[in-house]
Amino acid sequence: MSSPTVSSNGYPFTSVQQTSFKVYSPVRGGTERSLPSAAPPRLPFSRITEDDLAFFRQLLPGRAITDPDMLESCNVDWLKSVRGNSEVLLRPRTTEEVSQILKYCNERNLAVSPQGGNTGLVGGSVPVFDEIVLSTALMNQVLAFDSVSGILTCQAGCVLETLSQYLEERDFIMPLDLGAKGSCHIGGNVATNAGGLRLLRYGSLRGTVLGLEVVLADGRVLNCLATLRKDNTGYDLKQLFIGSEGTLGVITAVSILCPRKPKAVNVAFLGCSSFQNLLETFQCCRGMLGEILSAFEFLDASCMGLLEKHLKITNPITECPFYIVIETAGSNAVHDEEKLHNFLEKVMASSLVTDGTVATEDVKIKALWSLRERVTEALTHDGFTYKYDISLPVEKIYQLVTDMREHLGDRAKNVVGYGHVGDGNLHLNITSPTKDPALLAAIEPYVYEWTSGVRGSVSAEHGLGLKKRNYIYYSKPPEAVALMGNIKAMLDPRGILNPYKTLPDNLNLH
């Protein structure tokens, strides 16, 4: 019936299918393995029948969608890089409905692709073949908010920005923020263990998510929706579902610890003449801004060039090889400004920073942040983009960009680096006038081997999804991957939940 196709403008996940590659694990003793290089075959799930549709229509009146136009947007990912061929979109409103759907699909051997805001970057949120799309879009209710503890409980389909607005009115903020906030769902954020711009300050979702409600593959509802900061009664099951990309269960509700809204926010946009100076600025910043530092982001001159060229954004400072966005957030405006002033004085005096500008008003803060946040958008105008989300020891994060640039020579149009210095997270992007298999072959597996060689992670925050599933061995030892397969088999023995995602093909269940 259906087979995976790739849009002409998309990320070449077909290349994963066409390229033969080997996995080297230098840090674990140099074992070498061959992995399946072909497209994942469609597993022998049932095909959807009229009887199935009748069941779904009765369960979800008006919310079992088969209209092709309406299916289009849920079959294609945000990057327009992966296309599935699902024939039905289900829009439950309640946990009970999700439970009924999964119980039915499990019994009928129908595969399911859970979907939040469909903003993922690794093809994890769209069907590969004809999987049923289970959308959380109508599960968008705030269930409770406790203004003493700052604990929010809500359904999985709440949009991150909507939650942020809800909280800001109550003098709190969400502990995470990311570019896709206008579309992404909190359930999807949790399912992919999203990082984003506030991780440096408020930590990962593994610490801030206090409870989850999850529907398992067979329809059982696992209610771990605790609202306690501490609970050591047995194993912490919710951690299994954080970052499992919908392959172990469908998250239906989330409780999360939200910080108070800071009374003062400042943003500085600075320029550095070398990456070494940028790193020394970071060290100095951590010492002098300490507890009020809430973000330390960077972009290189190539990113700035793309912003200027494609988005007509003006560089607010003099041209530099590297730019930094520093944000402070604190409880006392006077203290924060003084700390920031002292810090800036020091890094300017020592020439670590060559130019800079500071914003305290909301409009200017947003303008400075947009320099960092709109790099992704600028890249989409530069041609076909090969995207990598790499976690590295912080002192190595730009070396990969330099090495890649040298390695590719003039085969690439642009090789740019930006990302979260504070988290050791590099976004490496390589553009080309058109899709270019030869260029891809020069990038991969080079980028993964380089990363593995310094014990980095081939996916810092985007997850593995469909596109990166077979690269897991670059960052995880075989014993760990095998254990992941055991967990999958335990929780979803028929493999109906988000098949072809996260786990490598050699572990595919059915």
Binders in 236-255 for its own copies, by CB under 8 A:
236-237, 239-240, 242-244, 248
Give CB contacts under 8 A, 24+ apart, made by 175-183: 175/202, 175/203, 175/205, 175/208, 175/256, 175/257, 175/258, 175/259, 176/202, 176/205, 176/208, 179/373, 179/376, 180/78, 180/117, 180/119, 183/78, 183/117, 183/118, 183/119, 183/159
Comparing CB distances to its own copies, the nearer of 116 and 304 is 116
> Minimum Å distance from CB 77 to its own copies?
17
| Of 1-9, 11-19, 361-369, 459-467: span binding its own copies (CB under 8 A) | 459-467
CB-wise, 70 or 237, nearer to its own copies? 237
Residue 231 near its own copies by CB under 8 A: yes
Question: Among 22, 33, 309, 335, which residue interacts with its own copies (rule: CB under 8 A)?
Answer: 335
Which positions from 382 through 441 interact with its own copies, judged by CB under 8 A?
391-395, 420, 423-425
> Minimum distance from CB of 102 to its own copies (Å)?
14
**Contact with its own copies (CB under 8 A): which of 58, 232, 314, 318?**
232
Enumerate residues 193-212 that contact its own copies by CB under 8 A. 193, 195, 199, 203-204, 206-207
Q: Where are the beta strands (DSSP E) in 78-167?
A: 89-90, 112-115, 132-135, 142-146, 151-155
Number of residues that bind its own copies (CB under 8 A): 90
445 binds its own copies (CB under 8 A): no
Of 57-65, 75-83, 223-231, 267-275, the window that binds its own copies (rule: CB under 8 A) is 223-231
**Which of 181, 185, 198, 339 lies at the binding interface for its own copies (CB under 8 A)?**
339
Q: What residues form DSSP beta bridges with 115?
A: 135
Asked if 457 interacts with its own copies (CB under 8 A), we say yes
Tokens of 119: 């903003």
Footprint (CB under 8 A) of its own copies, residues 291-330:
291-292, 329-330
**CB neighbours of residue 455 within 10 Å:** 14
454: nearest Cα among 504, 395, 407? 395
Q: Does 476 bind its own copies (CB under 8 A)?
A: yes
User: Using the 8-state DSSP alphabet, how is residue 266 labeled?
Assistant: E
378 binding its own copies? (CB under 8 A): no
For residue 414, count other CB atoms closer than 10 A to its CB: 17
**Within positions 478 to 497, which residues make up the interface with its own copies, using CB under 8 A?**
479-481, 483-484, 486-487, 490
**Structural contact between residues 303 and 247, judged by C-beta atoms closer than 8 angstroms:** no
Rounded CA gap, 25 and 202, in Å? 33
Distance in angstroms (rounded) separating the CA atoms of residues 498 and 486:
16
Q: How far is the CB of 459 from its own copies (least distance, A)?
A: 5
